[in-house]
Chains A and B, each alone.
Chain A
Amino acid sequence: MEIFGVPSALLGSQLLVGLINGSFYAVLSLGLAIIFGLLNIINFAHGAQYMMGAFIAWLALTKLNINYWVALIAAPMLVGLFGVILERTMLRKLYKLDHLYGLLLTFGLALIIEGIFRDQFGISGESYEVPEALAGGINLGFMFLPIYRAWVIVASLTVCFGTWYMIEKTRLGAYLRAGTENSQIVQALGINVPLLITFTYGYGVALAAFAGVLAAPIFQVNPLMGSNLIIVVFAVVVIGGMGSILGSIVTGIGLGLIEGLTRVFYPEASAVVVFVIMVIVLLLRPAGLFGKAA
């Protein structure tokens, strides 16, 4: 079976890869957007925290024999806690300064984290077994669908929409949205904004680590796995604009799919297609697809 002169199995598998990458883009850009909304900081360490999530899962399995499911919950909590400590001890001191200092600080943190992991584990990469319950795959007739990959998509979408629900429909989310609009007034109304900020940063970071654990069995667990990804996610964020939660999710998945398609039809361009789209969006709609005009 062929579609546009391309075997359907190839097209299907590349679209699946695209969808998986898109899910990671969605989870990561969602975390960035939430953090940016309240803290006005772009978290450059997001990629490093994603990598930490993957490494904690790998360490837990190989050194402590802790299985995937526990790691999927525990690793984000640990990295989230790490984020909370960073926010309390460092980021907090920068809120009154130019927002760019937040970017620079988190960039430095990313270098430190990556450097330490590189020293400990080298750059060759470690592999993480797909958990037994999710091993194997289903033959869909036109392509073979590994169950783990389907799980990654379902899990990330669930987390994305869960986050969306929490922000748009719950009381905590209402505080968060109000804090994004005007944190001073929210504080005047008696809400503990500093605590809210700490929680938000921790949650955004935990999302990155969650994506990292999901990614561990698919990609090699490697100290540098986050840094290249995060630059693409930055482009995704520029394309989508950070104004809307659903916007981040849709943009992330859409760009993953486009990247997958490019890999089928013009593989040489697959590494740059997201950046090319960013250029086009900047020319046509500078505020981003879902962004508010600045």
Chain B
Amino acid sequence: MSTASQPTALIKTEVLYTGLFLLGLIAPFAIYPTFLMKLFCFALFASAFNLLLGFAGLLSFGHAAFLGTAGYVCGLMVRDVGVTPEIGILAGTVCAGLLGWVFGILAIRRTGIYFAMITLALAQMVYFVVLQIKATGGEDGLQGVPRGHLFGLIDLSDNIAMYYLVYAVFSVGFFIIYRTIHSPFGQILKAIRENEPRAISLGYDVNKFKLMAFVISASLAGLAGATKTLIFQLASLSDVHWHTSGEVVLMTLLGGLGTILGPAVGSATIVTLQNELADKVGSWVTVIMGTIFVVCVLAFRRGIVGEIQALIQRAGIR
């Protein structure tokens, strides 16, 4: 069965991705670009997070630290140092990667639930540091970040130009994640997730792989954060708050843990929901998010994309 169906399945996937890519190119003419940009940032953020939880089985409850730190670094570089946007994004991404390396070294010393608690505690430490040092503007956040000119040439204050930059960043980030998952490295991560002692006995340096996955995930989360700062021209304290760390877990869980498109679908759902609900229900948003969390964990663990895949599979078997 697999020999016959695999090529067609591959073609189908390629058609799907090409279609989605083209859709993204024309989307800003149909939908409000700022909303789309926010959506793509969170889609990249959640996909990066999913690389860690869905494929390496590591639950980080501190991913906001990478999103936020990169955002602040990018904002400071662009606003106060005066670099061009692409350098700012790069600087933010690198800093998030370095921070991820530090988090990773500490957190992989423990597994499972402790791993989650350690990442959460470290992220909270980052939150307090950001809150207290002067450069970040404390409670006010970092405001008035100019979008600048990409490569010194293209004016990003135009929303459509900015959109295509964000879309390019998202596509590159998503492609990196896709390639990572489908590489031998990704397969080893899955092996570690499924059975760590066996991976060790096969001779893999498990901690090295976990750390690498963590750094990649943190860097890409940073890429999303740095881009987000340019879009909204500000970096806020809420980007480093644990609520954001929880949100990205929810997006991934709702979309489908360990699926490739799931996190993007999940973040699109949550961002849309937040946009729609924000003025209508006020503080009930938190309650609704919590309820989705509970429902997902109790009855909907495969997530939206996971359920669809299961449906297709069942149909295929018949």
On A, residues with C-beta under 8 Å from B are 36, 40, 42, 90, 93-94, 97, 99-101, 103-105, 107-116, 118-119, 227, 231-232, 234-235, 237-238, 268, 271-272, 275-276, 278-279, 282-283, 286-287, 294
Contacts and interface: CB of A to CB of B under 8 A. Distances in A.
B54 to A, nearest CB: 12
Contacts, number: 123
Nearest to A108: B293
A115 B121 contact: no
Contacts of A278: 118, 121
Contacts of B113: 36, 40, 42, 99-100, 103
9 contacts: A94-B297, A97-B301, A105-B293, A112-B287, A112-B294, A115-B285, A119-B287, A232-B121, A283-B106
Given A110-B290, A232-B124, A278-B121, 20 more contacts: A42-B117, A93-B298, A97-B301, A100-B116, A104-B293, A105-B298, A108-B290, A108-B292, A108-B293, A109-B294, A111-B286, A111-B287, A112-B294, A114-B290, A119-B287, A232-B121, A234-B117, A275-B124, A278-B118, A279-B122
A238 B124 CA distance: 14
- Which of under 10, 10 to 19, 20 to 34, or 35 or more describes the interface residues of B? 35 or more
A94 B298 CA distance: 8
B109 to A, nearest CB: 4
A142 B253 CA distance: 56
Contacts of B61: 103
Given A100-B59, A272-B128, A105 B117 contact: no
Given A119-B287, A268-B132, A272-B125, A111 B246 contact: yes
A231 B121 contact: yes
B157 interface: no
Nearest to B288: A115
B284 interface: yes
Interface string B218-256: 000000000000000000000000100010011001000
Contacts of B250: 108
Interface of A is mostly: helix
A107 B129 CA distance: 24
B283 interface: yes
Given A42-B116, A275-B124, A101 B301 contact: yes
A66 to B, nearest CB: 27
Contact of B110 (A110, A112, A272, A286): A286
B140 to A, nearest CB: 18
Nearest to A122: B283
A116 B287 contact: yes
A234 B298 CA distance: 24
B273 to A, nearest CB: 14
Nearest to B121: A235
Nearest to B114: A238
Contacts of A276: 125
A109 B297 CA distance: 11
B19 interface: no
B206 interface: no
Nearest to B295: A108
Given A105-B297, A271-B132, A282-B106, A115 B290 contact: yes
